[in-house]
Amino acid sequence: HLAEFWMIEPEMAFADLDDDAELAEAFLRDLFQAVLRDGADDLRFFDRRVLPGVLARLERLADAPFGRVTYTEAVRLLETSGRTFEFAPCWGMDMQSEHERFLAEEVFKGPVVVTDYPAEIKAFYMRRNDDGRTVAAMDVLLPEVGEIIGGSQREERLHVLEATLRASGLNPEEYAAYLDLRRYGSVPHAGFGLGFERLVQFCTGMHNIRDVIPYPRAPRLCV
């Protein structure tokens, strides 16, 4: 793990969760294609010396369609898989890495976008869905990595945002500046975060994420 890392965070106005997922998919695909195009020599080195097959994996994913599944459907797939997990899947818990990798590697056999997570395990600023139980959030999962992107449609309705803050035990007065962004005009908007080091790790096949950043900051390192 890294205590400090680079995060790429696009934000879009006039966008919902579907727009967010589509941008994330197009963004990753374009990055994979750029790496294949501009870093072919380096990829061949990593394919020979670090992880045999990493080049073929990128070539396959650069054009592969991404699967799409709701959190509720994903939990059902995990529960009925017959696989014994260290952490038994159940609705309402955050998915562990073993669950994410199983979905990407065994069920969809490629990238998959999981949407509509339980509200209780997500941040207050994520837009509440009409069912009252879930929020418009999404994660992009990759084989051998798990989550590489996390994002959501943001809650633009002031009264819902204030109610969610109170329900979360937070004082709306302490979020006055944030709430003013909604109070004085807002639009539906969405965004996501992509961990850059995790992306580099996936593209190169490096085993340890600390090896893909020049000066890793982590526990017990004097950097």
Question: Going by DSSP bridges, is the β-strand pair 146-154/134-142 parallel, antiparallel, or unpaired?
Answer: antiparallel
145 assigned to some structural domain: yes
Number of domains in the chain: 1
The pLDDT value given to residue 220: 81
pLDDT value for 203: 95
Q: Are 87 and 99 in contact (CB under 8 A)?
A: yes
What CA–CA distance (Å, rounded) separates 122 from 211? 30
CA dihedral over 117, 121, 122, 127, signed as positive or negative = positive
The answer to the question of residue 147 being in a domain is: yes
Is residue 220 included in any domain, yes or no?
no
Predicted pLDDT at 211: 93
pLDDT score of 144: 84
Q: Under a CB-based contact definition with an 8 Å cutoff, are residues 10 and 27 in contact?
A: yes
Helices (H), 63-137: 71-79, 97-102
Contact present, 85 and 98 (Cβ < 8 Å):
yes
* Domain assignment present for 9: no
Predicted pLDDT at 223: 62
Q: What is the mean pLDDT of each successive set of 10 residues along the chain, which is 223 residues long?
A: 90 98 97 96 97 94 93 98 96 96 95 97 97 97 91 97 95 96 93 95 92 88 70
Q: Is residue 96 part of a domain?
A: yes
Asked if residue 76 belongs to a domain, the reply is yes
Find the CATH number of the domain harbouring 95.
3.30.930.10
User: Is residue 106, in this structure, part of any structural domain at all?
Assistant: yes
3-state secondary structure of 134: strand
pLDDT for position 161: 96
Residue-wise over 186-200: b if at least 16 C-beta within 10 A, else e? bebbbbbbbbebbbb
Residue 219 lies in a domain: no
Range of the domain at 187: 16-212
